[in-house]
């Protein structure tokens, strides 16, 4: 069966890419604002593209394993590239492996451009991609996502962009990581029943529906508190308060989560996509704020 380019792209779940791309973009903007010199813009853009390829590899590898294990079935919400019969499992497996090889080759090239310390970040990212499905089944998926799409991107980007590890970029990893983890968390909250039938265990299952709702609300509101505290502490520029424009979107997401129950999760069927959209908006506003503040300083 032949597939169009659009179908192959859709199989990678591109709506989720802001979770990986935006931490890199925000880090680039933040370091520009801080006045770090010199700045390797080519390496920074390369890192942005490469992490998206890593993310696509992780998405497709996870989809393949979830389908083979019976976690994703015809009545499971979310990715349907395999459950609908649109793609054969082997096609998605080959796509995942091909993407991972591309990301590793790109990472090696970036390492030669910047320094061998980048190997450690790349190795960490590759391990996260490969081990994520296994750890997700054991309630550790949230931890892996936080490492792979917040901590590693912020630190790794700071290294390739400036030639040195900038520890203060963790100030960015915390709020961005909250929203990224929330994408997985609302997905797992929605899929508690089907995950249980597949005999896997997630954090949402451990918490129960009500506490899972509370945790999601925390993930939604804390990034705005975090930015506000850092602004009024003099650590972030006042312009980063522009990110508060995304607060109504976060509140709408929280309301959708509150409307769900353990017996009826239809209200959050597409909440993972809405949460990824929030990440895109919040991070874009934060990036623009840092770039403008850096330009004006």
- What distances in angstroms separate CA 196 from CA 19, 117, 132, 203, 260, one per listed residue? 26, 41, 18, 12, 18
Domain annotation covers residue 80: yes
Considering only CA atoms, which of 134, 142, 157, 181 is closest in space to residue 52?
157
Check pLDDT > 90 for residue 214.
yes
pLDDT category at 78 given cuts 50, 70, 90 is: low
Check pLDDT > 90 for residue 196.
no
Q: What residue numbers bound the domain in which 67 lies? A: 7-296
Considering only CA atoms, which of 86, 100, 92 is closest in space to residue 68?
92
pLDDT category at 69 given cuts 50, 70, 90 is: confident
- How many C-beta neighbours within 10 Å does residue 76 have? 20
What is the predicted pLDDT for the residue at 208?
94
- Which of 44-58, 191-205, 248-262 reaches the highest mean pLDDT? 248-262
Q: Which tens digits make up the pLDDT trace of 256-278?
A: 999 999 999 999 999 999 999 99
Mean pLDDT of the chain: 90
Q: Rounded to whole angstroms, how far apart are CA atoms 104 and 97?
A: 10
Q: What pTM, to 2 d.p., does this model score? A: 0.88
Check pLDDT > 80 for residue 80.
no
Domain annotation covers residue 1: no
Higher pLDDT, 47 or 78: 47
Domain annotation covers residue 157: yes
Q: Report yes or no: 180 and 149 within 8 Å, Cβ to Cβ.
A: yes
Share above pLDDT 70 across residues of the chain, in percent, rounded to a whole number: 97
| Residue environment code for 184-223, b if the CB has 16+ CB neighbours within 10 A, otherwise e | bbbbbbbbbebbeebebbbbbbebebeebbebbbebbebb
Q: Rounded to whole angstroms, how far apart are CA atoms 275 and 271?
A: 6
How many independent structural domains does the chain possess?
1
Domain annotation covers residue 149: yes
Domain annotation covers residue 102: yes
Domain annotation covers residue 2: no
What is the predicted pLDDT for the residue at 188?
92
């Amino acid at each position: 069966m032949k597939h169009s380019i659009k179908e192959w792209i859709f199989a990678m779940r591109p709506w989720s890419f802001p979770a990986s791309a935006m931490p890199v973009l925000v880090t680039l903007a933040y370091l520009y604002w801080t006045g770090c010199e010199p700045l390797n813009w080519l390496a920074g853009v390369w890192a942005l593209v490469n992490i998206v390829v890593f993310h696509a590899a992780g998405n497709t590898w996870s989809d393949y394993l979830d389908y083979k294990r019976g976690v994703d079935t015809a009545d499971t919400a979310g990715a349907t590239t395999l459950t609908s019969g649109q793609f054969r499992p082997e096609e998605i497996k080959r796509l995942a492996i091909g993407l991972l090889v591309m990301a590793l080759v790109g990472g090696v090239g970036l390492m030669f451009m910047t320094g061998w310390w980048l190997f450690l970040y790349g190795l960490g990212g590759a391990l996260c991609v490969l081990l994520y499905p296994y750890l997700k089944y054991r309630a550790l998926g949230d931890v892996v996502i936080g490492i792979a799409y917040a901590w590693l991107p912020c630190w790794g980007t700071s290294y390739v962009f400036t030639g040195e590890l900038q520890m203060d970029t963790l100030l960015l990893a915390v709020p961005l990581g909250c929203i990224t983890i929330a994408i997985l968390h609302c997905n797992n909250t929605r899929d508690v029943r089907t995950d249980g039938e597949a005999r896997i265990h997630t954090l949402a299952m451990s918490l129960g529906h009500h506490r899972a709702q509370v945790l999601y609300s925390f993930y939604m509101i804390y990034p705005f508190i975090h930015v506000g505290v850092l602004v009024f502490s003099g650590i972030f520029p006042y312009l980063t308060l522009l990110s508060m424009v995304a607060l109504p979107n976060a509140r709408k997401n929280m309301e959708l989560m509150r409307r769900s129950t353990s017996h009826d999760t239809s209200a959050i069927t597409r909440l993972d996509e809405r949460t990824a959209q929030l990440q895109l908006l919040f991070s874009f506003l934060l990036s623009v704020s840092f770039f403008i503040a850096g330009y004006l300083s």
